[in-house]
Structure 1
Amino acid sequence: MTFSLVARCAETGMFGIAISSSSPAVAARCAYTRAGVGAVASQNVTDPRLGPLVLDRMEVGLSAPDAIEAMRREAEHLDYRQVLAVDKHGTTAIHSGGNALGIWAEAKAENVASGGNLLANKDVPAAIVDAFGASGGHLGDRLIAAMRAGLAAGGEAGPVHSAGMQLADKYAWPVADLRCDWTENCPIEAIATAWEIYKPQLDAYVTRALDPREAPSYGVPGDE
């Protein structure tokens, strides 16, 4: 019911994940990033414990493949799970259980991994990985371009209704965490619109957290 990608920006070290599904609020249950560590997507009959588990293993020095192997030893019911990971070196790994739903597929390259289930066809993750590699600019822009490519390649077998994008930079919190929890329109385009609005203000929100005395105003009521 989901297609996604996890990625690392080779220039900045920023991590990101973008995800979409026919299920509601997919990003709230499936998207995990940690600054300086990596990004993980835990999907297909989701177990929200798996994202933090894999990130914890990478934080103590395991590579993405070794962290996925550790998850396989420690977690249960993995035949039903699909988990994607990228680490601080850009190494990627994917676990796809044999009971993943419908047509499922995966693709990976340096700094990016994509997977999906209940897909329209097996080419969707490869289209996502190719689009990420071919695009430039901010990591958020590349994630949006990749998700649009996945949708254009067929996406899910049915319509998607929720989407999300999360970015981790140098701080203990995500510098962007954009979600569309349900829409009858295209949730990926909803996230793209939100990103167009949020992107120019991203650095300002970081400044507000670190030193509000230096934070710029954006002219909203009470913001002076």
Structure 2
Amino acid sequence: MTFSLVARCPDTGMFGVAISSSSPAVAARCAYVRAGVGAVSSQNVTDPTLGPRALDLMQGGMSAEEAVAEIRETAPFIEYRQVLAVDARGGTAIHSGPNSLGLWTEARATDVASGGNLLANEGVPQAIVDGYLGAAGHIGDRLIAALRAGLAAGGEAGPVHSAGMLIVDDVAWPVADLRCDWTEDCPVEAVATAWEVYKPQLRAYVQRALDPREAPSYGVPGDE
């Protein structure tokens, strides 16, 4: 009930996950990133323990391929899961269990991997990968472009209702964590709109955490 991508920006070292689903609040259960380590999406009859575990394995020295292989060998009910990972060198890996729902496919390249289930057609993940690689600018812009490309290629077999985008940079917390947990409209466009508002303020929110003395005002009442 989901399509997603994990990605690395080779210029900045930033990692991101972007995801959409017919299920509610998909990003809350499926998207995981860690600064300097990688990004993981754990989806399809979701086991939320797999994302942090894959990141732990990569932080311990494994590549994305090795981490996903370890999870494939040791995680329970792995035949029901999809796990996508990208590591600090841009290596990518995907596990799609044979019990993944409906039509499921995957695609990957250096710095980006995409997978989905209950898809409208087999070309959706490749369209997402191509959308990411063909876009320019901030990793957030490229993640949104990739999700839009997946929708344009057919997306899920039915309508999607939630979406999210999670980005990490060089601090210990996500520098962007944007979600639409449920809508009857397009959740991808809801997240895209949130990104357009958030993007100009992203660095200032980091600065406010690191040293609020240097943080700019944004003109809200009382903030002068």
**Structure 1 gap ranges (5+):** none
Runs ≥4 residues deviating over 2 A = none
Supply the distance in 2 between the matched residues of 1:129 and 1:214 (Cα, whole angstroms): 38
Structure 1 residue 70: deviation in Å? 1.1
Normalised by the size of structure 2, how large is the TM-score?
0.99
Which SS does the other structure have where 1:175 is aligned?
A: strand
Is 2:148 the partner of 1:153? no
Give the structure 2 partner of residue 13 of structure 1: 13
Q: Within 5 A, what are the aligned runs for 1:28-39?
A: 28-39=28-39
Is 2:3 the partner of 1:3? yes
**Structure 2 gap ranges (5+):** none
Q: Within 5 A, what are the aligned runs for 1:57-206?
A: 57-206=57-206
Q: Which digits, 9 at most, give the CA deviation of each residue in 1:51-103, with x for residues without a partner? A: 00000000011000000011122210000000000000000000000000000
Supply the distance in 2 between the matched residues of 1:54 and 1:155 (Cα, whole angstroms): 26
Supply the distance in 2 between the matched residues of 1:84 and 1:39 (Cα, whole angstroms): 8
Q: Which digits, 9 at most, give the CA deviation of each residue in 1:162-181, with x for residues without a partner? A: 00000000011000000000
Deviates more, 1:213-222 or 1:181-190: 213-222
Supply the distance in 2 between the matched residues of 1:198 and 1:45 (Cα, whole angstroms): 31
Give the structure 2 partner of residue 49 of structure 1: 49
Supply the distance in 1 between the matched residues of 2:105 and 2:191 (Cα, whole angstroms): 24
Supply the distance in 2 between the matched residues of 1:223 and 1:167 (Cα, whole angstroms): 27
Structure 1 residue 138: deviation in Å? 0.3
Structure 1 residue 126: deviation in Å? 0.3
Supply the distance in 1 between the matched residues of 2:52 and 2:72 (Cα, whole angstroms): 14
Structure 1 residue 223: deviation in Å? 1.8
Percent identical among aligned pairs is 75
Which SS does the other structure have where 1:68 is aligned?
A: helix
Q: Which digits, 9 at most, give the CA deviation of each residue in 1:4-23, with x for residues without a partner? A: 00000010000000000000
Question: For residue 31 of structure 1, what is the amino acid of its counterpart?
Answer: A
Question: For residue 7 of structure 2, what is the amino acid of its counterpart?
Answer: A
Question: For residue 21 of structure 2, what is the amino acid of its counterpart?
Answer: S
Question: For residue 174 of structure 1, what is the amino acid of its counterpart?
Answer: P
